[in-house]
């Protein structure tokens, strides 16, 4: 029996504002006119990091999730901690050409052109109960592509957790209209 | 007070062999003659993932580590879970050009040519107690570059944890000769 006993007290953190204050705003990155939300300052703060993981896990109970699917690369940081807390498996969604075994690919549209993400062809058990995680949802292009990939294995997408929602870009609404519960900690 | 109370029972997992059995061997990847060790099959197994995180954290006590520094990208998955378990901060080391704020860069040698990793210039507190984590140590080039970056902030590198050591390539020995404790779960 490999499983360790883990007891968590996932009580609500005090205010979402205290998390928001730990996010650094970087103007004109990656290009002029964009205000980049840098979560590295949140992650490097021990209390901020713990509270973030607690918030991302809050809707889900240990034993009710089989797989956390995380999107490269910042999603990996949060997804690893979530899978450990929820005592479930971890599956990476990676940029094209990064996974070593047989993969399934899903393209998605960017402002100019397209990009693609991949998952291993045997990554998720049939009908597994899945949570998606990423640091940020903006237009929702990557999240929608993730949903399409996961649905090739399982219809049981229990929800999606994001640290940040850039609400004017509508990605969260798009996911919710498709019927998926979104759990967001900070809105801009 | 944001910090949640977390109680862990980090008891030893049964045998390292059970973890090794969950790693998939992929011949001739990324090129002919290389046997790639694919940990995605280990990470997607709930008991395997939990035991891996327990093993990586084993030498370190909650309250004795300030920062887990993880190397992009697979190191992020493990480092996020470790920082959560150890109730400390998480700092990413990324490929060149991926971090949004002021960075410090360290080059390192590959078989042919060089590569570089970066850290935010304000990422780690002076004299912080640091643990390095990555999925695998081979020649130790990336790990050595990580040490050089971290030493610009702190001499307190408590140790380095890796899931896999490709022992014939000597990276672990190199780090240990430099005086750093290595914690390895699986050897090839």
Q: Cβ contacts (< 8 Å) between B84 and chain A: which residues? A: 49-50, 53, 81, 84-85
Copy the structure tokens of residue B150.
């971290």
Can you tell me the distance from the alpha carbon of A137 to that of B9, in angstroms, rounded to the nearest whole number? 35
Copy the structure tokens of residue B171.
């990276």
| Angstroms from B149 CA to nearest CA on chain A | 16
Residue contact B2–A70, C-beta within 8 A: no
pLDDT tier for residue B9 given thresholds of 50, 70 and 90: very low
In a domain, A152, yes or no: yes
User: What pLDDT is attached to residue A16?
Assistant: 64
Q: Are strands A6-8 and B6-8 parallel, antiparallel or unpaired?
A: antiparallel
In a domain, B65, yes or no: yes
In a domain, A44, yes or no: no
CB atoms within 10 A of CB A180: 17
Is the pLDDT score of B8 beyond 90?
no
In sequence order, the β-bridge partners of residue A6 are: B8
Residue contact A79–B83, C-beta within 8 A: no
Range of the domain at B124: 60-187
* Average pLDDT value over all residues in chain B: 92
User: What pLDDT is attached to residue B6?
Assistant: 42
In a domain, A98, yes or no: yes
Kindly state the helix (H) or strand (E) to which residue A76 belongs, with its residue range.
helix A74-85
Residue contact B4–A7, C-beta within 8 A: no
User: What pLDDT is attached to residue A144?
Assistant: 98
Sign of the C-alpha dihedral, residues B84, B54, B23, A69? negative
Residue contact B8–A9, C-beta within 8 A: no
Query: What's B177's domain CATH number?
Result: 3.40.50.2020
Kindly state the helix (H) or strand (E) to which residue A24 belongs, with its residue range.
strand A24-27
Can you tell me the distance from the alpha carbon of A46 to that of A37, in angstroms, rounded to the nearest whole number? 19
User: What pLDDT is attached to residue B110?
Assistant: 84
Distance of CA A97 to the CA centre of its chain: 21
User: What pLDDT is attached to residue A15?
Assistant: 58
Residue of A nearest to B44 (CA): A89
- DSSP letter string, A8-42: E--PPPS-HHHHHTTSEEEET-SSTT-EEEETHHH
Here the ipTM equals 0.93
What confidence tens digit (pLDDT) does each residue in A150-173 have?
Answer: 999 999 999 999 999 999 999 999
In a domain, B166, yes or no: yes
Is the pLDDT score of B5 beyond 70?
no
Catalytic residues of A, by residue number, are: 74, 111
Which whole number is the average pLDDT over B88-96?
Answer: 97
Can you tell me the distance from the alpha carbon of A96 to that of A104, in angstroms, rounded to the nearest whole number? 10
In a domain, A43, yes or no: no
Residue contact B9–A9, C-beta within 8 A: no
- Across the interface, which of B79, B87, B92 has its CB nearest the CB of A46? B87
Reduce the DSSP state of residue A49 to 3 states and report it.
helix
Copy the structure tokens of residue A124.
């998720």
Is the pLDDT score of B45 beyond 50?
yes
CB atoms within 10 A of CB A94: 22
Can you tell me the distance from the alpha carbon of B120 to that of B180, in angstroms, rounded to the nearest whole number? 23
Residue contact A88–B5, C-beta within 8 A: no
User: What pLDDT is attached to residue A6?
Assistant: 42
Tell me the residue length of chain A. Answer: 188
Residue of B nearest to A79 (CA): B77
pTM of the model: 0.93
Copy the structure tokens of residue A86.
């929820």
In a domain, B94, yes or no: yes
Q: Cβ contacts (< 8 Å) between B21 and chain A: which residues? A: none
Which whole number is the average pLDDT over B79-107?
Answer: 97
Can you tell me the distance from the alpha carbon of A179 to that of B31, in angstroms, rounded to the nearest whole number? 42
Can you tell me the distance from the alpha carbon of B75 to that of B132, in angstroms, rounded to the nearest whole number? 9
Can you tell me the distance from the alpha carbon of B164 to that of B137, in angstroms, rounded to the nearest whole number? 6
Is the pLDDT score of B10 beyond 60?
no
In a domain, A113, yes or no: yes
Q: Cβ contacts (< 8 Å) between B97 and chain A: which residues? A: none
User: What pLDDT is attached to residue B24?
Assistant: 98
Q: Are strands B103-109 and B114-120 parallel, antiparallel or unpaired?
A: antiparallel
Q: Are A50 and A56 in contact (CB under 8 A)?
A: no
Copy the structure tokens of residue A186.
């900070």
Backbone angles phi, psi at A29, to 5 degrees: -130, 135
Residue of B nearest to A125 (CA): B44
Catalytic residues of B, by residue number, are: 74, 111
Among A99, A50, A186, residue whose Cα is nearest residue B85: A50
Which whole number is the average pLDDT over A17-41?
Answer: 94
Sign of the C-alpha dihedral, residues B125, B126, B130, B135? positive
Q: What is the total count of domains within chain A?
A: 1
- Across the interface, which of A4, A67, A84 has its CB nearest the CB of B81? A84
């Amino acid at each position: 029996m490999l499983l360790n006993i883990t007891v968590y007290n996932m009580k609500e953190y005090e205010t979402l504002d205290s998390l928001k204050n730990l996010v650094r705003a970087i103007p004109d990155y990656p290009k002029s006119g964009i205000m980049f939300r840098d979560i590295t300052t949140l992650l490097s703060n021990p209390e901020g990091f713990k509270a973030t993981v607690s918030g991302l896990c809050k809707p889900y109970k240990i034993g009710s999730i089989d797989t956390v699917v995380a999107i490269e690369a910042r999603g990996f940081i949060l997804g690893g901690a979530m899978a450990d807390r929820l005592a479930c498996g971890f599956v990476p969604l990676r940029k094209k050409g990064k996974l070593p075994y047989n993969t399934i690919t899903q393209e998605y549209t960017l402002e100019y052109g397209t990009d693609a993400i991949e998952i291993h062809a045997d990554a998720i058990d049939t009908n597994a109960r899945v949570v998606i995680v990423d640091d940020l949802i903006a237009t929702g292009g990557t999240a929608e592509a993730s949903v399409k990939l996961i649905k090739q294995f399982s219809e049981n997408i229990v929800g999606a957790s994001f640290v940040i929602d850039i609400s004017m870009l509508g990605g969260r609404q798009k996911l919710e209209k498709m019927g998926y519960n979104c759990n967001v900690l900070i809105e801009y």
